[in-house]
Structure 1
Amino acid sequence: MIQKIIMLYKNKKIWVILSGYFVVALFLSILIILIDHRILPVQSYIPAILFTTVDLARQILGMLSGVLLTITTFTFSTILVVLTMYSSQFSPRVVENFLTNKITMKVLGIYVGGFFYCITNLLFLRNTDLDYQVICAAVGVIYSILCMIYFVVFVYTVSSSIQANKLIERLYDESKQTIENTISLQKDKERSRQYSFDQNDLKIELFSKKTGYLDLIDLDLIWNLIKEFEYKIFIHTGIGDFLSENQKIGVLYYRQGEIDEDFISQLSDCFTVGDERYAFNDYKFSLQKIIEISLRAISPGINDPYTAIRCIRMLGVLLGKMAGIDGCYTVIKSDESKAAIIYESVDFRKDLYYTFYQIIHYGKADISVVLALFEALEIIKRTASIYNQRVVKEFAEYIYSVCISEYEHKMDTDLIKEKMDSIREATRLS
């Protein structure tokens, strides 16, 4: 349930934050209007320096509303320019990282809220006694100072965001957090490289109810549904996989009796399928963003191998965090129950291949990229389990066989062979 709420928040994050600032501006406007119309008798507690005449307040609020609307338009235009640059130079998948940045959303929210505050107070000033002293203008000036501070912060954020190194660092932090969360879910659970079922077991297949990406598997709810029975569920799909309607997502195994269709429907509802992927619970998607930046960097149009090398090293560090996990299936079971849930999670062999195979294909003719790939494998190998070290060696042999034919000069081939021999030797020693 908590994960569904988080996913809903991520999906509507922009509107939630903008609505929050709008509500704050609404309450601030109501409060100031009540004070200025003497409905709240708190004037004696407010410093006299904050009071102005009604005519002056109208002039100040009119000017501020125009300025705030202009700055909001300029900020929105800047955001569109940055989004276009992100999509063309880095990857369309990283656009949301800037769009959902806290500063970006705060700036828009504060400007829209400030404009709403100014025009609302202007509207109610028309019925205010000209002899009154009001504070709406002073509050508007203080609010405008806050807007200017956030504008400076926004400019700094934009200038930092368009730097490739800064973007890669943010994506690395995002991926690191997602991977650590994924690894923490594997603690205290049984891991296995393969899993089999009794041939006498009956089975019912579970199907997706809609087309889209698998965003969430509610394992707690599945367990609560099956723990009282001798049921076993094998989940074929993982978070982030694309599903079509009526595609098989899992199989329910049972010994005897009949399974109610409502029960099967409840199990199918435990799989949330959406139109988008979310990096907060999908480490493959978070890695994909870094992969795409590296691919774009080694493309002939951009030709920035050092950005690709930085991405490859980051990918090596991130995969190294998963290299210590053996097996590819996670088993959820309990001593008090005969039920079990088996699902694929953190298959290091597949993750290693799908992380680097495109980079190998497009970067095999660049010696600096190839050497960076071997360097990444050495980083992974340092934290890998014994079994996964052999997987790393096998993958290094794959890179060697694909890339060595691209080079004829002895200096190039010697460097590649040296890197390959280093990984072979380390694997034998372990």
Structure 2
Amino acid sequence: MQKLKLLYRETNWWWPLLYGLGGAMLTAIVLTIDLYAKELFPSDWKTTLGLAQTIHSAVFTGLLTMMTFTFSTILVVLTTYSSQFSPRTLPNFIENRQVQHIFGVFIGTVTYSITMLFFMRPSLKDSVVASAVAVIVVLIAIVAFVAFVHIVSQSIRVTTLLDRLHEEGCMLIEEHTNAIEAGRYQLVSDNGTNHPFGVTATQTGYLQAVDYYLLIKSDRHVVIDVAIGSYVTQGQRIGNTTQQDVEQGIIIGPTRSAEQDFPFVIQKLTEVALRAISPGINDPNTARHAMRQIGDLLRRYTVLKDGHLLVSGTGTVVMSRLTFAELLYLTFYQLRHYGKEDISVLATMLESLEIMKRSALPEHRISIDQFIPFVCSEVDWSSLNEWDRRHLEQAEQKARL
């Protein structure tokens, strides 16, 4: 089930293909009506065969041009995402279901027009429904095109991307928290005993997800020693189990997936912030907004204690997790290095730490307090002017409260 869910999320041609098949089915329905049910429609709907062919030819040509423009626009957006935001954020636009539905509408309309034009025969004599349906589908395609322009204009904004990443992270934390509150998940300090059989990676790549419910249905106990999102190589031992053949429940792919990987969402936000403070882009305010979003996500995350994830059923699965301190370091160590000369970036980094402490468990507050000196460890305080030093000291004092 988890494999199907991941496949559905990462498959980008599924909806356009269904719309294309829908266009072909619409052609079959319209032809059937034209051949056997002409008398059921008013005479005003009737057009000559020549006019119907002209309408469908114009529809096909116009929509093919519109679809070409749409595809070119998508490529421009993907280039912008890759060059200005982060290559890891490309799926956030490609997997947008609204874009896939709109592109599917274009494909379905073009499919209907070209197939209907092919089946236009002199035996029809006059076309009843075909021309009217062509006009209707064109109007639908125009509405879809207007919606596409709006979606692209919103998606190209970096704040929209950051909000979507923030929402994606919130959903992952909420699912995790709800599962713990419902008793489906538990956080334990010990990963259990070593079981006799080893679990090895079936291929080289990233551990994308684990199908917990597939593994716990049978009476077997599985321990995974690497966290979701870790890079593994083929044949690498990644855990142990009481029974063999559990690899089908462990999904490994060439790229990381945000299906179960909360640190990957944080990494995408971090990369957007890093790209924003690079000399080529020089947009520190975007970096500051990204760090505030990171602070809010980790604020939600700090209500969860450290430990391994235990999923119980007929069997059990124990999954390794990053500690909060490890996640905190991996989130900020690059931002601290590349933003050390920008006082606004360092101050916002301290602000995000202050945001995290608002809901943090006591052990996580200790980790945050220990991390604060690390953020400012490369700052040359003696070279700062009075205003910069005062601003940074105030941000540091506020983070320690």
- With the length of structure 1 as denominator, give the TM-score of the two structures: 0.87
Match of 1:58 in 2: 53
Tell me the alpha carbon deviations over residues 253-307 of structure 1, each in whole angstroms, 9 at most, x when there is no partner: x7xxxxxxxx32x123321111222223221222221111100000011100000
2:257 match: secondary structure: coil
Q: In structure 2, what is the Cα distance between the partners aligned to 1:61 and 1:207?
A: 57
Of 125, 135, 143, the residue aligned with 2:137 is 143
Match of 1:207 in 2: 200
Q: In structure 1, what is the Cα distance between the partners aligned to 2:141 and 2:81?
A: 26
Give the superposition deviation at 1:95: 1.6
1:298 aligns with 2:291: no
Match of 2:324 in 1: 348
1:280 aligns with 2:259: yes
Tell me the alpha carbon deviations over residues 7-35 of structure 1, each in whole angstroms, 9 at most, x when there is no partner: 111232x2110111012111110000111
CA contact (8 A) 1:54 1:128 kept: no
CA contact (8 A) 2:351 2:399 kept: no
Change (3 A) 1:134 1:306: same
Of 289, 297, 303, the residue aligned with 1:324 is 303
Match of 1:191 in 2: 187
Match of 1:175 in 2: 169
CA contact (8 A) 2:302 2:359 kept: yes
Q: In structure 2, what is the Cα distance between the partners aligned to 1:141 and 1:191?
A: 59
1:314 aligns with 2:312: no
Percent identity among equivalent residues? Answer: 33
Alignment of 1:59-208 (within 5 A): 59-130=54-125, 132-187=126-181, 188=183, 189-195=185-191, 197=193, 203-208=196-201
Q: In structure 2, what is the Cα distance between the partners aligned to 1:314 and 1:406?
A: 31
Q: In structure 1, what is the Cα distance between the partners aligned to 2:17 and 2:262?
A: 30
Which structure has the bigger radius of gyration?
1
Q: In structure 1, what is the Cα distance between the partners aligned to 2:177 and 2:320?
A: 13
Give the superposition deviation at 1:340: 4.8
Give the superposition deviation at 1:407: 4.6
Of 222, 240, 247, the residue aligned with 1:251 is 240
Tell me the alpha carbon deviations over residues 345-388 of structure 1, each in whole angstroms, 9 at most, x when there is no partner: 35211111111111111111100000001110111000101111
Task: State which drifts further: 102-111 or 87-96.
Answer: 102-111
Give the superposition deviation at 1:203: 3.8
Task: State which drifts further: 385-394 or 345-354.
Answer: 345-354
Q: In structure 1, what is the Cα distance between the partners aligned to 2:150 and 2:264?
A: 28
CA contact (8 A) 2:191 2:223 kept: no
Q: In structure 1, what is the Cα distance between the partners aligned to 2:249 and 2:124?
A: 61
Structure 1 gap segments, 5+ residues each: 255-262
Match of 2:225 in 1: 236
Q: In structure 2, what is the Cα distance between the partners aligned to 1:298 and 1:93?
A: 17
Give the superposition deviation at 1:194: 4.8
- With the length of structure 2 as denominator, give the TM-score of the two structures: 0.93
Give the superposition deviation at 1:102: 2.4
Q: In structure 2, what is the Cα distance between the partners aligned to 1:324 and 1:95?
A: 30
Q: In structure 1, what is the Cα distance between the partners aligned to 2:44 and 2:322?
A: 63
